[in-house]
Amino acid sequence: MNTTGADIRDDAGAAGPRTGRPGHDRLGVLAIAVETFHEFGYDATSMGILAERLGTSKSAIYHHFRSKEEVLEQALDHALGGLEAILEDSRAADGPAEGRLRFVVSEAVRVLCERLAHVTLLLRLRGNTDVEREALERRRRFNAALAELVEAARREGTLRSDIDPRTTTRLLVGMINSIVEWYRPGGPMTPERLAQDVLAVAFTGIRAREHVRPRELPARFSGEYRDF
C-alpha cells in the first residue's frame, strides 16, 4: 500500500498500461466503488455488483484495478494518506505541544469532512484481509502520534494533569471519528467551522465560563485501558 501519497492516483499516475479508456476513469470507478462498499459491505460486494453499479463490464473495471482488493487499498490509502500528511506538516512537529495538538485535531476534522466516504470506510474495517490489517495498523500509528502529543502537552502544563492522558486521547479520537455518523457535506457547517467547534469543546468545554466550577472527583475509580 502506498504510504506517501495523500491523493488518489488518476489514470495518468496509475502503474502499468491501464490508461485512457472511454467511460469511467479510475477516480470515477473508485468513488462509486466506495459508495457500493458502504451499501453492501466490502465482503459482500463482488466485481459483478460493481460493474452493475457502474453500468459497465467487469473487464472495464479490471482496466483500472487488478482486483477488488486493490480498489479497497486505494480507497483506504486516500483516507490514511490525508491523515498521515497532517503529521508530516511542520506545524505538527514544531512549537509548543498544545499548539501542535490543536493543529492535528483541527486538520483531522478537515480531512474527515473532505474525504468522508473514504474515512468512513476506514473506520468500519473488520481486519479480515491483509489490506485491512495494514490499514488498521496505519490508523493505530496515527492515534499513537496523537497520544504522544497529548502526553507532551500534559507534561508542559497546558493540559489538565488530573485527567488520565489515555482518557483524553480516547475522547479526542472518539469525538473526531463520530463526525462520520452525522456530518453531511454541502450543508451550513463547513469543515473549518466544525474544526473550530471541536477545538472549542475539546480545549474549553461547553459550559459558559461564568458557570464553571471545580469538578467533583469520585472517591474511587477502577478501570482498565487497552492499547489502540
- Long-range CB contacts (within 8 A, 24+) of 145-151: 145/87, 145/104, 146/101, 146/104, 146/105, 146/108, 146/172, 146/173, 147/228, 149/92, 149/97, 149/100, 149/101, 149/104, 150/101
All structural domains of the chain, each given as residue ranges with its CATH number in brackets, are 22-65 (1.10.10.60), 70-207 (1.10.357.10)
Q: Residue 208: what pLDDT?
A: 82
Q: Residue 53: what pLDDT?
A: 93
Instruction: Tell me the pLDDT tens digit for each residue of 84-93.
Output: 999 999 999 9
pTM of the model: 0.81
